[in-house]
Amino acid sequence: MNLETFIRDIPNFPKPGILFKDITPLLNSPEAFAHCLEELVSKTPDTIDKVIGIEARGFFFGTAIAQKLSAGFIPVRKKGKLPYTTISENYSLEYGDDALEIHEDAVRKGDRVLIHDDVLATGGTAKAVVNLVERLGGTVVQCNFLIELEFLNGRKQLNSPILSVLKY
Protein backbone atom coordinates (compact mmCIF):
# COMPACT_ATOMS: atom_id res chain seq x y z
CA MET A 1 0.00 0.00 0.00
CA ASN A 2 1.32 3.44 -0.91
CA LEU A 3 0.84 5.36 2.34
CA GLU A 4 2.12 8.60 0.77
CA THR A 5 -1.22 8.96 -1.02
CA PHE A 6 -2.82 9.39 2.42
CA ILE A 7 -0.57 12.30 3.47
CA ARG A 8 -1.84 15.79 2.59
CA ASP A 9 0.54 18.76 2.26
CA ILE A 10 -0.67 21.98 3.91
CA PRO A 11 1.52 24.97 2.94
CA ASN A 12 2.24 27.74 5.44
CA PHE A 13 0.91 25.89 8.48
CA PRO A 14 1.31 26.52 11.38
CA LYS A 15 3.50 29.42 10.22
CA PRO A 16 4.54 30.88 6.87
CA GLY A 17 7.26 28.81 5.22
CA ILE A 18 6.30 25.51 6.89
CA LEU A 19 4.94 22.67 4.73
CA PHE A 20 2.81 20.65 7.16
CA LYS A 21 2.35 16.92 6.55
CA ASP A 22 -1.29 16.23 7.46
CA ILE A 23 -1.92 12.62 8.50
CA THR A 24 -5.69 12.95 8.98
CA PRO A 25 -6.49 11.32 5.60
CA LEU A 26 -4.45 8.30 6.74
CA LEU A 27 -6.32 8.21 10.04
CA ASN A 28 -9.60 8.34 8.11
CA SER A 29 -8.78 5.15 6.19
CA PRO A 30 -9.12 1.94 8.24
CA GLU A 31 -6.98 0.08 5.70
CA ALA A 32 -4.19 2.67 5.66
CA PHE A 33 -4.24 2.95 9.46
CA ALA A 34 -4.01 -0.85 9.86
CA HIS A 35 -1.20 -1.07 7.30
CA CYS A 36 0.76 1.70 9.00
CA LEU A 37 0.23 0.16 12.44
CA GLU A 38 1.54 -3.17 11.17
CA GLU A 39 4.62 -1.42 9.74
CA LEU A 40 5.30 0.23 13.11
CA VAL A 41 4.74 -2.89 15.22
CA SER A 42 6.48 -5.43 12.97
CA LYS A 43 9.81 -3.60 13.20
CA THR A 44 9.74 -3.08 16.96
CA PRO A 45 11.97 -5.00 19.39
CA ASP A 46 10.18 -7.81 21.22
CA THR A 47 10.44 -6.62 24.80
CA ILE A 48 8.84 -3.23 25.40
CA ASP A 49 7.45 -2.31 28.82
CA LYS A 50 6.04 1.13 27.96
CA VAL A 51 5.10 3.05 24.84
CA ILE A 52 5.21 6.83 24.99
CA GLY A 53 3.01 8.87 22.69
CA ILE A 54 3.96 12.52 22.27
CA GLU A 55 1.12 15.07 22.33
CA ALA A 56 -1.03 15.04 20.46
CA ARG A 57 -0.62 13.20 17.18
CA GLY A 58 1.65 10.62 18.80
CA PHE A 59 -1.38 9.39 20.73
CA PHE A 60 -3.15 8.08 17.61
CA PHE A 61 -0.71 5.25 16.94
CA GLY A 62 0.98 5.20 20.35
CA THR A 63 -2.02 3.68 22.12
CA ALA A 64 -2.56 1.13 19.35
CA ILE A 65 1.12 0.15 19.37
CA ALA A 66 1.03 -0.29 23.16
CA GLN A 67 -2.04 -2.51 22.92
CA LYS A 68 -0.44 -4.66 20.19
CA LEU A 69 2.76 -5.02 22.22
CA SER A 70 0.95 -5.67 25.53
CA ALA A 71 2.77 -2.67 26.96
CA GLY A 72 1.66 0.26 29.07
CA PHE A 73 0.93 3.59 27.39
CA ILE A 74 2.33 6.90 28.65
CA PRO A 75 1.17 10.26 27.34
CA VAL A 76 3.81 12.98 27.25
CA ARG A 77 2.10 16.36 27.11
CA LYS A 78 2.80 20.05 26.93
CA LYS A 79 3.41 21.87 30.20
CA GLY A 80 0.43 22.07 32.56
CA LYS A 81 -1.74 19.41 30.87
CA LEU A 82 -1.06 16.38 33.10
CA PRO A 83 -2.97 16.12 36.40
CA TYR A 84 -0.37 14.46 38.65
CA THR A 85 3.16 15.44 39.72
CA THR A 86 5.40 15.79 36.67
CA ILE A 87 8.94 16.39 35.55
CA SER A 88 9.55 18.78 32.65
CA GLU A 89 12.01 19.17 29.79
CA ASN A 90 12.42 22.28 27.63
CA TYR A 91 13.14 21.88 23.91
CA SER A 92 13.38 23.74 20.62
CA LEU A 93 11.46 22.84 17.50
CA GLU A 94 11.50 24.10 13.95
CA TYR A 95 9.19 27.03 14.73
CA GLY A 96 9.73 27.92 18.42
CA ASP A 97 10.44 26.69 21.96
CA ASP A 98 8.25 24.68 24.33
CA ALA A 99 8.31 22.23 27.24
CA LEU A 100 7.06 18.66 27.66
CA GLU A 101 6.04 16.86 30.83
CA ILE A 102 5.64 13.29 32.02
CA HIS A 103 4.21 11.96 35.26
CA GLU A 104 7.04 11.33 37.70
CA ASP A 105 5.93 7.71 38.23
CA ALA A 106 5.24 6.82 34.57
CA VAL A 107 8.60 5.16 33.89
CA ARG A 108 10.32 2.93 36.42
CA LYS A 109 14.03 2.24 36.62
CA GLY A 110 14.89 -0.38 34.00
CA ASP A 111 11.72 0.01 31.92
CA ARG A 112 12.31 -0.58 28.21
CA VAL A 113 10.56 2.26 26.39
CA LEU A 114 9.43 2.86 22.82
CA ILE A 115 8.81 6.51 21.91
CA HIS A 116 6.30 7.27 19.16
CA ASP A 117 5.40 10.51 17.39
CA ASP A 118 3.90 11.35 14.03
CA VAL A 119 6.83 13.34 12.59
CA LEU A 120 10.59 13.49 13.13
CA ALA A 121 11.64 16.98 12.04
CA THR A 122 14.56 18.68 13.83
CA GLY A 123 14.56 16.06 16.60
CA GLY A 124 14.08 18.50 19.48
CA THR A 125 10.77 17.04 20.65
CA ALA A 126 11.95 13.43 20.56
CA LYS A 127 15.25 14.32 22.26
CA ALA A 128 13.33 16.02 25.09
CA VAL A 129 11.29 12.84 25.61
CA VAL A 130 14.44 10.68 25.56
CA ASN A 131 15.85 12.96 28.28
CA LEU A 132 12.66 12.58 30.36
CA VAL A 133 12.78 8.76 30.09
CA GLU A 134 16.45 8.64 31.04
CA ARG A 135 15.93 11.01 34.00
CA LEU A 136 13.32 8.55 35.32
CA GLY A 137 15.69 5.58 34.90
CA GLY A 138 14.20 4.04 31.76
CA THR A 139 15.97 2.89 28.61
CA VAL A 140 14.80 4.08 25.20
CA VAL A 141 14.83 1.01 22.97
CA GLN A 142 13.53 2.69 19.81
CA CYS A 143 11.94 5.86 18.47
CA ASN A 144 9.15 5.34 15.93
CA PHE A 145 7.77 7.95 13.56
CA LEU A 146 5.13 7.84 10.90
CA ILE A 147 7.04 10.49 8.88
CA GLU A 148 10.67 11.62 8.87
CA LEU A 149 11.63 14.94 7.26
CA GLU A 150 15.18 13.89 6.40
CA PHE A 151 16.30 17.34 5.21
CA LEU A 152 15.94 18.67 8.79
CA ASN A 153 18.45 16.11 10.14
CA GLY A 154 16.49 15.27 13.30
CA ARG A 155 17.98 11.78 13.35
CA LYS A 156 21.31 13.32 14.45
CA GLN A 157 19.71 14.38 17.77
CA LEU A 158 18.86 10.80 18.76
CA ASN A 159 21.16 7.96 19.83
CA SER A 160 18.42 5.32 19.81
CA PRO A 161 17.40 3.16 16.85
CA ILE A 162 14.86 4.98 14.68
CA LEU A 163 12.02 3.63 12.57
CA SER A 164 10.32 5.94 10.07
CA VAL A 165 7.53 4.55 7.90
CA LEU A 166 7.65 7.43 5.38
CA LYS A 167 10.63 9.66 4.56
CA TYR A 168 10.60 13.03 2.82
What are the catalytic residues?
57, 94
* H or E element at residue 69: helix 58-69
Letter for the amino acid at 90?
N
Which helix (DSSP H) or strand (DSSP E) does residue 41 occupy? helix 30-42
Radius of gyration of the chain from Cα atoms?
Answer: 15
For 131, the 3-state DSSP assignment is helix
Spatial CB neighbours of 81, under 8 Å, sequence gap ≥ 6: 55, 101
Query: How far from 125 is each of 51, 71, 100, 133, CA to CA, in Å?
Result: 16, 22, 8, 13
